[in-house]
Amino acid sequence: MAPRLVPEVTMGRSVVAIVLLLACAASGCRASTTLEPEAGPTSSSADVPLGTPSASSGARETEPRQAPPTVSPPGPLTGDLLPADLLVHSPEPLEEDLVAAVAEVPGVVHVEPIALAQVAIQDRVVNVAAVDAAAYRRFTTPGSAGLQEAWDRVAGGEVAVVPALGRRLRDEEGYLRLGNDRDAARVHVGALTAQVPQVDAVVNTAWGTELGMRPGNALLISVDRLVAPQRVRPAITRLVGRDVSVQVLGPDLDVSAVQTAVLTGGSVAQAVGSFSYRVGTAGRIVPQQEWVAGHIRTEAVPILGAVTCHAVMLPQLRAALAEVAASGLSQEIDPDQYAGCYHPRFIAGSTQLSLHAFGIAVDLNVPGNQRGTVGEMDPRVVAIFERWGFAWGGRWSWTDPMHFEMDRLVEVR
């Protein structure tokens, strides 16, 4: 039996309840009627706790399950809700005296330390926060903050995700794999609910430790309602330094601020490293040159010729292509249809980074392998790439058969 949804909507909860009762009275439906919010961008404010995974669901176990890390339940919502006005994000934990100094900046009324990192899910880099649910929920929307079951589930080891993204990326069993590494953790999606701007998913602090996130490397900041966040930002920037991201939160990315990319979720993420970047034009980003110089290389590989990728991936890419050639399959990869490896950009139409921005993905035979199709990739080529530590986008729920991304480290001898 598939997990049931618990009905909940951020706006007008009592109105929704009345409408459902009237509908039931007219149609004779039973009390177990559930409400699934409409899919798509308009549903981003919907708050829905999801059913827990069930051994009787009939779904095939794909790997052993371990009990998720838990923390104490947050209890009922206490205190006033707070606007999420500014976000400070650093690659490393912020020192306590620095956090105290930020809290004393004129106009700042509250600061809340969180852990913030990015995980790669199907070539989409998702912002994940590890939080104290009792404190963090006060920064979310009223409907989300008041959804007790959602925060109990986060404390109990599940993940809460913004609705549109959660529906798109969770697997058939209702899990997210937090990272593109083959050994990355799978976390059950416990709720689809609105988060603060620039946060896509939240887990508890124990999960943060399990994932290797850096505790306290980010700060949510509320300012006085009579003070514009833009007026407070310069003083905070002077305290934390210009290389640390200080952005004004809102529905759109603050393009004037330095951004921070910190991959987590496994050994590949650790090898890739973190970097700061600025938002460029036409969906591009401008990473800090020190990271580019230290990690991005242009080298020759079989079949494709010169490619520009992350240094950690090049040996595995070279080995995979060499085996393709040795197997007599060179004709199955057209170098004229190669669409590149390192591309410092967002995913088209979004402000989420692609793994191409880290240089650990390649797109092959593009014309015949478009997103959402079965594609024309030779399965023997796919098998070779998978042996050499690559995941294939043709296996995703929304397929991308041109796409191969590094999902584990393989020693090349």
User: What pLDDT, on a 0 to 100 scale, did the predictor assign at position 350?
Assistant: 84
Determine the average pLDDT of the residues in 34-61. 44
Determine the average pLDDT of the residues in 96-109. 97
Residue 34 above 70 pLDDT? no
Over the chain, what is the mean pLDDT?
85
243 pLDDT band, cuts 50/70/90, is confident
Residue 43 above 70 pLDDT? no
User: What pLDDT, on a 0 to 100 scale, did the predictor assign at position 36?
Assistant: 33
Q: Which residues, 6+ apart, have CB-to-CB distance to 168 below 8 Å?
A: 397, 398
- Helix or strand or coil: residue 378? coil
C-alpha–C-alpha distance, residues 221 and 108, integer Å: 7
- List, for residues 114-151, the tens digit of each pLDDT value: 999 999 888 889 999 999 999 999 999 999 999 999 99
DSSP string, 221-255: EEE-TTS-HHHHHHHHHHHH-TTSEEEE-SSS--T
Q: Residue 151 — φ and ψ, nearest 5°? A: -75, -30
According to CATH, what is the number of the domain 296-406?
3.30.1380.10
Q: Which residues, 6+ apart, have CB-to-CB distance to 12 below 8 Å?
A: none
Please return the burial class of 155, using the count of CB atoms within 10 Å of its CB with bins 0-12, 13-18 and 19+: buried
53 pLDDT band, cuts 50/70/90, is low
Residue 37 above 80 pLDDT? no
Please return the burial class of 106, using the count of CB atoms within 10 Å of its CB with bins 0-12, 13-18 and 19+: exposed
User: What pLDDT, on a 0 to 100 scale, did the predictor assign at position 51?
Assistant: 67
User: What pLDDT, on a 0 to 100 scale, did the predictor assign at position 63?
Assistant: 52
Determine the average pLDDT of the residues in 74-97. 95
Residues of the chain within CATH 3.30.1380.10 domain(s) are: 296-406
Q: Can you state the angle between helices 379-387 and 314-326, rounded to 10 degrees?
A: 140
User: What pLDDT, on a 0 to 100 scale, did the predictor assign at position 52?
Assistant: 60
> Which of 169-183, 197-211, 228-242 has the lowest average pLDDT?
169-183
User: What pLDDT, on a 0 to 100 scale, did the predictor assign at position 209?
Assistant: 94
- Per cent of the chain over pLDDT 90 is 68
Q: How far is CA 88 from the centre of its chain?
A: 18
Contact at 8 Å (CB) between 289 and 144?
no
- List, for residues 357-395, the tens digit of each pLDDT value: 999 999 999 999 999 999 999 999 999 999 999 999 999
316 pLDDT band, cuts 50/70/90, is very high
Indicate yes or no: pTM above 0.85.
Answer: no
User: What pLDDT, on a 0 to 100 scale, did the predictor assign at position 265?
Assistant: 80
User: What pLDDT, on a 0 to 100 scale, did the predictor assign at position 155?
Assistant: 98
User: What pLDDT, on a 0 to 100 scale, did the predictor assign at position 181?
Assistant: 85
